[in-house]
Amino acid sequence: MSVQEPHRIIGDGGDLPDYPVPDELGEKDLLELYRWLVILRTFDERAVMLQRQGRVGTYPMYWGEEGTAAGALFACEDSDWVFPSYRQNSVGILRGLPIATVLGWVRGYGGPAGFYNPRDYRLGPICVPISTHLPHATGVAWAAKIRGDRTASLAWFGDGATSEGDFHEGLNFASVFRTATVFFCTNNQWAISTPVTRQMATKTVAEKAAAYGIPGVRIDGFDPLACYKATKEALDRGREGAGPTLIEAFTYRIKAHGTADDPSLYRDEAETQKWLHLEPVGRMASFLRRLSILDDDKDNELRLEAKEMIAEGIRGLESLEQPGPEVMFDHVYASANPWTFTEGLEEVNSVARKPEPTPPQPPSPPSAGDVELTPESSSSTEEG
Amino acid sequence: MAELTMVEALNKALHEAFSADDRVVLLGEDVAQTGGVFRVSAGLLKEFGGERVIDTPLSESGIVGTAVGMSLYGMLPVVEIQFDGFVYPAFEQIIVHVARYGWRTGGECPANMVIRIPFGGGVRAPELHSDSPEALFAHSPGLKVVCPTTPSDARTMLLAAIGHPDPVIFMEPKRIYRAGREEVSDQMPIDLVSANGEASSILSTARLARSGTDLAVFAYGATVPLSVEAAEKMEAANGTSVRVIDLRSLYPLDVEAITSHASECGRALVVHEAPRTAGIGAEVSSLIHERVMLDLDAPVGRVTGFDVPFPQFANEDDYLPSVERITRGAEKVLSF
């Protein structure tokens, strides 16, 4: 069986050609999607920095996978439910989730400092266990179908998740009950140190769709517009009652699995370099420049705006207080606390607290001269 | 008023819940067309339709996982796990999501579902159709775990569990599904929509099953009628007065009832089918020793299943607590 070439819209300015932009997207939309990409990129780079400074805990970076999150979300209606894995940890900020809340979660805060109400953003909680949120996405779209609503759902997950049982159970239920669910696999070819060839004997993730009698679509996961287009088509099909779609966004994990990981132990970083020129932020910027939609001024404006936005979020993080011991007990039950909690609170309140380690001072606010992202993502990067 | 078995009482509760609130749905294997392998959901499909009474694929994690999504979207799912030993594939969904969703969402989106599990032995069933996994759930914060013993309790507690905002693991003692009949009122025992406080109370209190003064026996499910039978035989044989308490709630345990009954009788015994180590009996025993040890005349005893896989059914009578084993256990505590 030959491997299907991933669909793409944005070329690389060299051998890979550009294809037409979906009709429904105007210049304003394209700039907005680019703005989202810049926000996600800026968040990711800042979050890694915060981890290095000891101001947040272990952080799973997504550098290079911004297009899978932003592109797919851009295709969703505001009422559609989306379910992130930890690799889409900050996608909620594109729906108004406070940046400080996302960072608070990474800092290990619970309660209102790190958790949120999913119904406020149609956004599932960040799912740490692998693939277990797929049946949740199915359940939401199924309930919407029972209610007669047009609400659809989408879940992001990685190539490793396809080896888990809940991948099968989520897709199987969705296909049997024809729910409007998009299963969006970011196949970045690595699950910490485990290569995709050890996750599956199939050549692609997309072909697994055949087992469920549903469409399987393979796209270039570094291409935000391809991510958008495939998701939009899948959502449209779902809303028409045609059931779920499996999307494989074929990409590469440019960075480590997380801040505690060292990829040099298990892979050749020269291989990683080969994928860099495809990364989505610089690629989208170059594409918009080729279409004369983006210039230096606009690009700098968007990047500065994103930096200010994230800096404001970091200030929000720094203004959060370490939650007291009561947050361990708060809301474990929606009904009255069981008596064991009364005793637990008494005990924990009777001993002195170990103070939270003092993090370094926050950096000074960004200035107009402080708009460089890392070299790989610079807007002037147009490697062939 | 009608005299109902536990199966009929549960069936009545489901009909009542489906009528009272159109957010209630039932998901499970063979629950719709056949009405469940024990017929607990008989008649529901015809009355409420296939969108609410749903035969699912054989996929316990998928059933519980999609119910989490349904709950997020505002439904009130009731899940039937066909047999106790089939719940293990759903264990991850139950522990990492069902139990934690309320906590993880600041109390906004508790996974307010009921997971019904017919459990326990004594029905000559194949392997993995006779397990008692309740302690696994009682040890998992975020869940309420209950077990009714009488038809009337089964109906009231199921309605309370459905109306209750927290996820409830609803253990159904299948051996006594049809063991006896009891009058069940036609009046709704609670208002489903505003059930929170009342439902919490129903789901967290023990019940006095038999009065007595010399020994308090704590049991739940199918071991309650066995304990009552043992108590009656002991009273007839030598006048010993044995009190039997039906725990009903396995998490949270009714600590006030447990300590006061143990304290009043001065001697206590715990009975369950589940293996002994780290079982519910260990917790009940600890509570009594921690809180009212000075009122005791003897250490708390236990009559339980053994720390082995539930046996092939040719040996299930060797495994299960019997009237004779309960009597022996009681005599040991009484003669200390």
**Mean per-residue pLDDT for A101-113?**
96
Q: A233-292: per-residue pLDDT in tens?
A: 999 999 999 999 999 999 999 999 999 999 999 999 999 999 999 999 999 999 999 999
CATH 3.30.70.270 for the B207-334 domain, yes or no: no
* CATH 3.40.50.970 domain extents, chain B: 2-202
- In angstroms, the CA A12 to CA A277 distance is 8
The confidence score (pLDDT) of residue A105 equals 97
CA triplet A377, A29, A18: central angle to 5 degrees? 60
Q: Which residues of chain B have pLDDT under 50?
A: none
* CATH 3.40.50.920 domain extents, chain B: 207-334
B289 neighbors B300 (Cβ within 8 angstroms)? yes
Using the predicted structure, report yes or no on whether residue A99 has a pLDDT greater than 70: yes
- φ, ψ for residue B115 (rounded to 5)? -110, 105
CA distance, residue A54 to nearest chain B CA (Å): 24
- φ, ψ for residue A340 (rounded to 5)? -65, -25
Give the closest residue to A185 by CA, choosing from A177, A22, A202, A193. Answer: A202
- In angstroms, the CA A14 to CA B254 distance is 72
Rounded to two decimals, the ipTM of the complex is 0.95
The residues, ordered by sequence, that sit 6+ positions from A28 with a Cβ below 8 Å of its Cβ are none
Using the predicted structure, report yes or no on whether residue A85 has a pLDDT greater than 80: yes
Contact list in A for residue B25 (CB cut-off 8 A) is 146
Contact list in A for residue B107 (CB cut-off 8 A) is 330-331, 334
- φ, ψ for residue A337 (rounded to 5)? -60, 140
B168 pairs with which residues across the strands?
B114, B144
A171 at the B interface (CB within 8 A)? no
Helix (H, G, I), strand (E, B) or coil at A256: coil
| Domains and their CATH numbers in chain A | 27-317 (3.40.50.970), 324-349 (no CATH)
The rounded radius of gyration (Å) of the Cα atoms in chain A is: 21
- In angstroms, the CA B298 to CA B293 distance is 9
Name the pairing type of β-strands B182-184 and B242-246: unpaired
- In angstroms, the CA A180 to CA A174 distance is 8
Helix (H, G, I), strand (E, B) or coil at A174: helix
The confidence score (pLDDT) of residue A375 equals 43
Best of A140, A175, A178, A181 to substitute, by most chain B Cβ atoms within 10 angstroms, is A140
CA distance, residue A144 to nearest chain B CA (Å): 7
Contact list in A for residue B112 (CB cut-off 8 A) is 334
A257 flagged as catalytic: yes
A82 pairs with which residues across the strands?
A123, A154
The confidence score (pLDDT) of residue B227 equals 98
Q: Residue B106 is nearest to which of A116, A165, A338, comparing CB atoms?
A: A116
Helix (H, G, I), strand (E, B) or coil at A194: strand
Q: B89-135: per-residue pLDDT in tens?
A: 999 999 999 999 999 999 999 999 999 999 999 999 999 999 999 99
The confidence score (pLDDT) of residue B201 equals 87
Asked if A135's CB is within 8 angstroms of B62's CB, the reply is yes
Q: B102-114: per-residue pLDDT in tens?
A: 999 999 999 999 9
pLDDT tier at A382 (50, 70, 90 boundaries)?
very low
CATH 3.40.50.720 for the B2-202 domain, yes or no: no
Query: What tokens were used for B61?
Result: 């994690």
The confidence score (pLDDT) of residue A359 equals 66
b/e per residue, B85-95, with b = 16+ CB within 10 A? bbbbbbbbbbb
B132 at the A interface (CB within 8 A)? no
Helix (H, G, I), strand (E, B) or coil at A382: coil
- Chain B from 191 to 220: CB within 8 A of any A CB: 196-197, 199-200, 204
The confidence score (pLDDT) of residue A377 equals 44
